Structure 1
Amino acid sequence: MKLHSSRIAATAATVAVLAGFATACNRGSDSTSAGSGGGKAAIGIDLPRADSDFWNSYAQYVKQDASSQGLNTLPVSNSQNDVTKLAANVQVFQNTGAKAVVMAPQDTGAIASTLDQLAAKKIPVISVDTRPDKGDVYMVVRADNKAYGTKACEFLGKQLGGKGKVAELQGALSSINGRDRSEAFAACMKEKFPDIQVIELATDWKGDVASAKLQSTLAANADLGGIYLQAGGAFLQPTLALLQQKGLLKPAGRPGHIAIVSNDGIPQEFDAIRKGDIDATVSQPADLYAKYALSYAQAATEGKTFQPGPTDHQSTIISLPNGLEDQLPAPLVTKDNVDDKSLWGNNVGK
């Protein structure tokens, strides 16, 4: 059974703006439930971190959609990029009656034991943006991260005319997303642009690490022609600040411009594209992540099942060894379409 739009439609105009989520691991009296959902089964929601513009936007959409879908959500937790905190938060969900759990584990290997624990209690899990390496999942709501790396490669390769040097600010390679983007970028460059040298910089999704490594790379490679930011929410600001400091932030089209392609689709990236500071980003659908993760969570509490194949929301459900994955569309954004009103980055907070 595919997910029907009538079951999951969210009307933004009726959304009630609710109190902010607690950012601490322990969910005490300052934590706020995202929705009341009288009569519906309880859903536990853990936010993965609060240090990224992308994930903060996702948190805002979760609040909106929990309300508009009329869900019964437990007080929302934030595991702060710490799998131990995530495990503790999940235990609280179990103790307070969760019938489904929405999470976005940043370490996709270490979460396996927590997933096994939930499976033993017959509590289905919806994993957002990240695909756990092991452990049962009801549904992964995610975009095709290999496509992110391929799109970035193809764009940069053309910008550089197939020659030169590119620095790649990689995400954590303990994450399936970091691995997928890095492997796809490398494979594409090797196949299509063999004369471009890729300088891989592992960052663990940390902006300060990215800035320090990029600074060293620039010092050793004055002819650097391009940069791939695997996460604009973490890397955009420190990258632009460093280039500005070094006198290297030249507008697109001007001599000396360093071509930059990013991933996320946050408003700050769109502004940077408009200014010519960066050239492109792949829009990771924070709005659709929230909408469909919560929809699948509610469906899970109702015992509904899904099958691989196309959906009615322009995505494809694929089969995994440990569950299913709904691969949502993630378009490339350039100066040609940056003002498209259908992009979530042009609507968040409005």
Structure 2
Amino acid sequence: MNLKRRAVVGVAFAAALVTATAGCNSSEPASSGGSGTGNASAQIAVDLPRADSDFWNSYAKYIPQYAQESGINLMTPTNSQNDIAKLVANAQALTAQGAKAIVMAPQDTGAIASTLATLESKKIPVVSVDTRPDKGKVFMVVRADNRAYGQKACEFLGEKLGGKGKVVEFQGSLSSVNGRDRSEAFAECMKSKFPGITVFEEPTEWEGAKASAALQTRLAQHPDINGIYMQAGGVFLAPTLQLLKSKNLLVPPTDPKHIFIVSNDGIPQEFEAIRKGEIDATVSQPADLYAKYALFYAKAAVEGKTFTPGPTDHDSTIIDVGNGVLEDQLPAPLVTKDNVDDASLWGNQIGK
């Protein structure tokens, strides 16, 4: 992300609605279909995936803001609380209430297929945010390159540790494509680039308590651990810092006891921890752009527009992930002490 892109993002968003109808040019993915007039009263629904994550709570704050800016008739958002059964029930209720498109972020990407099939049969397009369903048809996936998350985390830690040491990895749920992508990329990078680093893989199901318990056990067994990769700062940051503080291990990077920590999310709390020297880096998931472009594609779907792979006008690339599913991969920069105060980062704007 950079300041220039932020300055024009509002214009780019509006322009995308126009160009989606007008056709394509060399700098944008092609689109076709629909008259572009749409239905201003069409109800668009959003299911929030959970309320126990600072990242997803930030995303939730952006939804009504961008819905209002783009003239979307937004239904009252539901929250599936990290429960696939609740997501299924919410989708059924929203359909019954007249939703013409649904934005969701299924945390279990393997268990949503039948619901997607039902929605497709009812001609209700779905936009999947942050996660990509393992099976089933969606109109668009709005996501960042999660393999790049694992790669960036590996390279950062590998360089900081000089290629030697012990790292605890808090893996997200492996039933989620995000957890798998980050874990696989991190493992492959460590094996090929930093074979001198031992990685302790700790499945957490995206639960902070499980991560903290795993770290407690590993520190007791290996007091010389000198690195941590947290795949979701929104749920792992607070319990991790609390545990390290209780063991007098929350020390500045200049202290030999410092444990280098890289995270994923880009929430304000991570930025503050970077400034304090408590953690060292995070990959900023674009919570603001997730909300903005999820709603953009939901509206485009209702209006009958379609898209093809290629670069967009908002610094991303639409790719074909197979089975007729497209994914708009939004930028997700690495944030360290060198750029943590960049005003263009959403983590420095939320709540202001």
TM-score (norm 2): 0.89
Structure 1 segments (4+ residues) deviating >3 Å: none
Give the match for residue 271 of structure 1: 272
For 1:189 and 1:39, the matched residues in 2 are separated by 50
Q: State the partner residue of 1:197.
A: 198
List aligned pairs for 1:1-350, cutoff 5 A: 5-7=13-15, 39-322=40-323, 323-350=325-352
Partners of 1:43 and 1:320 lie apart in 2 by 25
Relative to structure 2, which stretch is displaced further, 39-48 or 238-247?
Answer: 39-48
Q: How many Å separate the matches in 2 of 1:301 and 1:250?
A: 52
Q: Following TM superposition, by how much is the alpha carbon of 1:8 offset from its aligned partner in structure 2, in angstroms?
A: 5.6
- Unpaired runs of 5+ residues, structure 2, are 1-10, 18-37
- Cα distance in 1 for partners of 2:140, 2:351 equals 27
Contact 1:8 1:69 in 2 (8 A): no
CA distance in 2, matches of 1:278, 1:221: 20
Q: Per-residue deviation at 1:195?
A: 0.6
Task: Give the Å deviation of 1:93.
Answer: 1.3
Partners in 2 of 1:199 and 1:39 — Cα distance?
52
Aligned residues: 321
TM-score normalised by structure 1 residue count: 0.90
User: Counterparts of 1:38 and 1:244 in 2: how far apart (Å)?
Assistant: 54
Question: Whole-Å Cα distance in 2 between the matches of residues 161 and 124 of structure 1?
Answer: 48
Deviations 1:283-312 (A, max 9, x none): 000000000000000000000000001000
Give the whole-Å Cα distance in 1 for the aligned partners of 2:182 and 2:201. 12
Q: Distance in 2 between matches of 1:245 and 1:146?
A: 33
Residue 71 of structure 1, CA deviation: 0.5
Q: What amino acid is the match of 1:172? A: S
- For residues 30-88 of structure 1, give each alpha carbon's deviation from its aligned partner in whole angstroms, at most 9, with x where no partner exists: xxxxxxx9933111110000000000000001121111111111121000001111111
Query: Which structure has the higher relative contact order (CA within 8 Å, separation 6+)?
Result: 2
Once residues 58 and 8 of structure 1 are traced to their aligned partners in structure 2, the CA distance between those partners, rounded to angstroms, is 21
Structure 2 match to 1:24: none
Work out the CA distance in 1 between the residues paired with 2:121 and 2:171: 35
Structure-2 separation of matches of 1:119 and 1:81: 23
Offset at 1:198?
A: 0.4
Q: 1:256 deviation in Å? A: 0.9
SS of aligned partner of 1:224: coil
The residue that corresponds to 2:30 in the other structure is none
| In structure 2, C-alpha distance between the alignment counterparts of 1:70 and 1:262, rounded to whole Å | 35
Q: Shift of residue 255 of structure 1?
A: 1.7
| Identity level (%) | 70
- The CA RMSD over aligned residues, in Å, is 1.4
| Alpha-carbon distance in 1 for matches of 2:40, 2:101 | 15
Tell me the SS of whatever aligns to 1:46. strand
Is the CA contact 2:169–2:200 (under 8 Å) kept in the aligned structure 1? yes
